[in-house]
Amino acid sequence: MGFGTVGRSVAKILCERTDGLLRLTHICNRNVERKKQPWVPSDVLWTENFQAVLDSEVEIVVELIGGLHPAEDLVRGALNAGKAVVTANKQLIARHGPDLLQLASSNGCQLEFGASVAGGVPVLPALRTGLSGDRLHGIAGILNGTCNYILSRLESDRIPFSEALEEAQARGYAEADASEDLDGGDARAKLSILALAGLHVRVSPADVRARTIRAIDVVDFDYAAELGCTIRQISRADLNDTTLFAEVGPSLVPASSPFGRVQRNLNLVLTSGEFGGDVAFLGAGAGGYPTAVAVISDLMFVAESLSLGPRPHRPLNLASPNVSCDFETPWYLRFWVKDQPGIIASLAAILSAHQLNIDAVLQKPGFDKNALPFVITLESCRDSQLHPALEQMSAQSFALRPCLCLPILR
């Protein structure tokens, strides 16, 4: 279902396979006539009628339409008809994953979604098998290739944000409306799925705070470099008893760390386990063929499971923790001010009144005194402790823009 970028690549790989485990039987798409391809064998049925697919003897339905409508109804219909489902649909799984897994289980079917996070990087299958013997407590990742492309271009070539965004759009990495990418909506949906699969928690994407990367300026990379760091959009989730600390947003990371070294539109996921420690997964987070590889791998897993006979009903055991963004970290605060005497003293007084400790003050020479960027770093404190001070500092008459506040992840 869905013969677009990923669907076409999945069909192509299936048509070239010769091992007999998987056979493509139907291609279902709206206005399907214009989709037909000469390389698809003549016994494959092209159709717009999804019900006909369900009424046939197909064993696995692959949903590659995307979005919630009509994908959700189609996936529910397939599971209710006793078909296994493989999907790459992050919106669907992030919003309805637990319910759909429950539905699959009660129908004795499988639902696999390995391509829904990080495209061709096999992190979800690893959570299902290779890491299932551990008790994971943390997952962090660079999950949005568009943001990473833009931030790593700012870092390496000091080009303006708008130019890096246009370049990402021209290369097909970003949509014309890139809000979901830039403002963190895409990454937090993926983080919810990783938390579901790896931490066994039910978390709605809407409950995960997302901070935009739009406020990042080239000068932030200069200041970050002085601190031995660079800037990346990091999605992180830490499970701590009954609280899931989770958020998505631009963060300072050491330039020499795995996150600091991820360039262009690659994805990186790090898992932290109680017994096995940290494990890293790096690769292409999107693209027709890398994503299709993840879909085909899910298909092979399902086909092999089907050959073992009916699946026993296994109730889902998911926790529903409180979701908080109140991380305790050191912080990077960047101010953009009209220079005048006493600015540092005013800011220091506000910070001191909130019992926040300054770690360093950085000011690069050579800027116009009418629009001067400088940075204060803070010692570790909770987000909630810092927030009221930020509002007060941003309201000062010398502040030309709201203070940019980024966690420093060590």
Ligand X SMILES: NC(=O)c1ccc[n+]([C@@H]2O[C@H](COP(=O)([O-])OP(=O)(O)OC[C@H]3O[C@@H](n4cnc5c(N)ncnc54)[C@H](OP(=O)(O)O)[C@@H]3O)[C@@H](O)[C@H]2O)c1
- Binding residues for ligand X, per CB under 6 A? 2-7, 29-31, 64-66, 70, 88-90, 115, 119, 286-287, 291
**Taking the complex as a whole, how short is the minimal distance between the CB of residue 281 and ligand X, in angstroms?**
15
**Taking the complex as a whole, how short is the minimal distance between the CB of residue 104 and ligand X, in angstroms?**
18
Name residues whose C-beta falls within 8 Å of residue 138's C-beta, 6 or more positions apart in sequence: 236, 237, 238, 239, 270, 271, 272
CA–CA separation, 326 and 324 (whole Å): 5
SS3 letters across the chain: CCCCHHHHHHHHHHHHCCCCCCCCCEEECCCHHHHCCCCCCCCCEEECCHHHHHHCCCCEEEECCCCCCCHHHHHHHHHHCCCEEEECCHHHHHHHHHHHHHHHHHCCCCEECCCCCCCCCCHHHHHHCCCCCCCEEEEEEECCHHHHHHHHHHHHHCCCHHHHHHHHHHCCCCCCCCHHHHCCHHHHHHHHHHHHHHHCECCCHHHCEECCCCCCCHHHHHHHHHCCEEEEEEEEEEEECCEEEEEEEEEEEECCCCCCCCCCCEEEEEEEECCCEEEEEEEECCCHHHHHHHHHHHHHHHHHHHCCCCCCCCCCCCECCEEECCCEEEEEEEEEECCCCCHHHHHHHHHHHCCCCEEEEECCCCCCCCCEEEEEEEEEEEHHHHHHHHHHHHCCCCECCCCEEEEECC
**Taking the complex as a whole, how short is the minimal distance between the CB of residue 177 and ligand X, in angstroms?**
14
Name residues whose C-beta falls within 8 Å of residue 79's C-beta, 6 or more positions apart in sequence: 85, 100, 103, 104, 107, 109, 111
**Taking the complex as a whole, how short is the minimal distance between the CB of residue 297 and ligand X, in angstroms?**
13
Nearer to ligand X, 293 or 390 (CB): 293
Nearer to ligand X, 60 or 375 (CB): 60
Asked about 364 being catalytic, the answer comes back as: no
Strand partners, 52: none
Nearer to ligand X, 64 or 404 (CB): 64
**Taking the complex as a whole, how short is the minimal distance between the CB of residue 69 and ligand X, in angstroms?**
8
Question: 83, 90, 190, 364: which one is catalytic?
Answer: 190
Nearer to ligand X, 284 or 351 (CB): 284
**Taking the complex as a whole, how short is the minimal distance between the CB of residue 217 and ligand X, in angstroms?**
29
Nearer to ligand X, 287 or 407 (CB): 287
Nearer to ligand X, 148 or 291 (CB): 291
**Taking the complex as a whole, how short is the minimal distance between the CB of residue 155 and ligand X, in angstroms?**
24
* Size (the chain), residues: 410
Backbone angles phi, psi at 405, to 5 degrees: -125, 120
**Taking the complex as a whole, how short is the minimal distance between the CB of residue 200 and ligand X, in angstroms?**
23
Nearer to ligand X, 265 or 324 (CB): 265
Residues 100, 106, 108, 114: what is their CA dihedral angle, to the nearest 10 degrees?
Answer: 20
Nearer to ligand X, 2 or 260 (CB): 2
Q: Which residues are catalytic?
A: 190
